[in-house]
Amino acid sequence: MSLATDPATSSPPADSAAFAPVDFRTEPARYRHWRLQVDGDLARLTMAVNPEGGLRPGYALKLNSYDLGVDIELADAIQRLRFEHPQVRCMVLDGALEKVFCAGANIQMLRSSGHAWKVNFCKFTNETRLTLEDYAENSGVRTLAACNGATAGGGYELAIACERILLVDDRNSAVSLPEVPLLAVLPGTGGLTRLVDKRRVRRDLADVFCTLVEGIKGRKAVEWGLVDDLAPLSQFGQERDRIARELADSVPDRAERQGVALGELEVSSAANSRKTRHTTLEWDLGTRVARLTLHLPKEPGPANAEQARQAGARWWFFELMRGFDDALLHLRVNLSGINLVTLRVEGNPEVALAADAMLAAHHEDWFVNEVTLYARRVLKRLDMTAKSLFAHVDAGTAFAGTFLEVALACDRIYLLDDEEEQVRLGVSAMNGGFYPMGNGLTRLETRFLDDDDTVANILSKHGLLDAVDADELGLATEALDRIDWDDQVRMQEEERAAYSPDALTGMEANLRFAGPETMETKIFGRLTAWQNWIFQRPNAVGATGALQCYGTPIRPQFDYNRT
């Protein structure tokens, strides 16, 4: 969270419906808050937030504090580095302001936002942090946070998403997570979990750290494991560059790689729809139901990695995933009134399996690997979307391989069992581990938890399965014949859309991630809990709550009864 705010206003929190829809598409030429520089195998991403560049009116982004618009640009920059600059071996995150790296999420923005906006803001921010960590773990790019000044709240959370942290040693600059003492909430983008699970800070020291408004600086920050390196102000730039060079040299040379330009995803919008070349999202706010359809081409497309690179951003598989991601973000942030999303994949399942065969055969190619990693992140975004998800596997659908993952991510799978329709699902090598969930398991392993024999049996059925076989293998929630299909599906949709969205969000978050806990599942599980409880409590957001009183002469008043 941020230490930068304006005096409280009397305006009530605004719902997202009161503003124009958010478009998650951007490019470096349109950035207002970040500077991206690439010099050979080194990239430098500098936070230079425009105070007057808030996504919504009514607040100033002082001291490199951020809102959703700042994070949209950050996510885009990381994405562009992965695809357009694959030769990069080390990325440095630093700040453009004197004595400040980042003050975290803007408090006035949070104060003036409705609950759904706050939740989705923190969720997207967390996913962006995870994308940064994925960049290091799976793309092999070393990451360095060069904290040139005060690093507070979400600013420190951004730093600990990097592999290594350099802090300026100027007797003033500290790292801090001051949300508990200042705002009566918690670090909302994984700060507490990363502190102990990732950086291995001793929990009693973490407890002290998280209750110190002023944070910890200098040698103690290194001793406690909060940062890795220190440098005096006079030598900070030199030390930053030295560490970056050292990190880059620890990675094999990538100079031969040629980047692929992303271009802007082409989207057409209407009153109740949003479409790309391979996706269609339609919704009805009256019924609280949206329908998301993925459209496969008639031909499988590139047969090898070279052809895929030549197709670039117009490779249908990559473009489809970009459209899928766009639709999911639009559903989350701009369509909070939608309770249920039905998903279909239209096309020939053999096309899906042929595309998967190419992905599996050429996964060591950097571009094919990056596209696969991107598909993995989109599927995780689907897992984490707070909507009920029903897959409709009926005539003309192609839930095969990668697109079987779409069905497996859903809360229910309805399968049409009709001999004349020849409905088929498909299994490929991509279902065997290329797309792990946040719990570290595949979606098949999560569906059939601790039933390794069933998982192995399904994976052995490479190719297409008819409806009867798919149902017998447990790949359907319910198989319906043609006579019952329309009425049963309609009734199930109406029933689900009528339930409390709060109860459904809690239920789905509990059920979707069976199996072991990981840092990622902890982050999102705790995010769901604290935001849907702490962020609603009067101690934080009431008229005399800490979030409302922060930055004013008024002291917050707390209900000290614990529950």
Q: Give the whole-angstrom CA distance, residue 241 versus residue 235.
A: 10
- Distance between CA atoms of 500 and 471, rounded to whole angstroms? 30
Contacts of residue 287, defined as CB under 8 A and 6 or more positions apart, other chains included, come to: 493, 494, 497
State how far the Cα of 273 lies from the Cα of 326, in Å rounded to an integer: 12
Provide the pLDDT for residue 302.
96
Enter the DSSP assignment of 535.
G
* pTM listed for this prediction: 0.93
For the chain, counts of helices (H) and of strands (E): 22, 22
- Tokens 């497309």 -> residue: 301
**Alpha helix locations (H) across 289-392?**
305-311, 316-334, 349-361, 366-383
For the record, the structure tokens of 128 come out as 């962006």
| CA torsion angle 129 132 137 142 (round to 10) | -130
Q: Helices 68-84 and 366-383 sit at what angle, rounded to 10 degrees?
A: 150
198 sits in the region (left: phi over 0; alpha: psi -120 to 50; else beta) called alpha
What is the model's pLDDT at position 17? 57
Beta bridge partners of 413: 391
User: Do residues 43 and 81 touch, judged by C-beta distance below 8 A?
Assistant: yes
Q: What local confidence, expressed as pLDDT, does residue 532 receive?
A: 64
What domains are defined for the chain? 27-255 (3.90.226.10), 268-506 (3.90.226.10), 533-563 (no CATH)
Position 11 scores a pLDDT of 47
Cα gap 494→340, rounded to integer Å: 9
Residue 243, token pair as written in the block: 């560490």
Task: Return phi, psi of residue 432, to 5°.
Answer: -95, 5
Phi, psi (5° rounding) for residue 479? -100, 125
pLDDT for 4: 54
Give the bridge partners for 318, in sequence order.
none
Let me know: does 127 contact 381? Beta carbons within 8 Å. yes
Rounded to whole angstroms, how far apart are CA atoms 121 and 333?
8
Which residues have C-beta within 8 Å of that of residue 450, sequence separation ≥ 6? none
Q: What is the pLDDT of residue 16?
A: 55
The conformation of residue 276, written as its DSSP 8-state character, comes to: -
Which residue ranges of the chain lie beneath pLDDT 70? 1-18, 529-532, 563
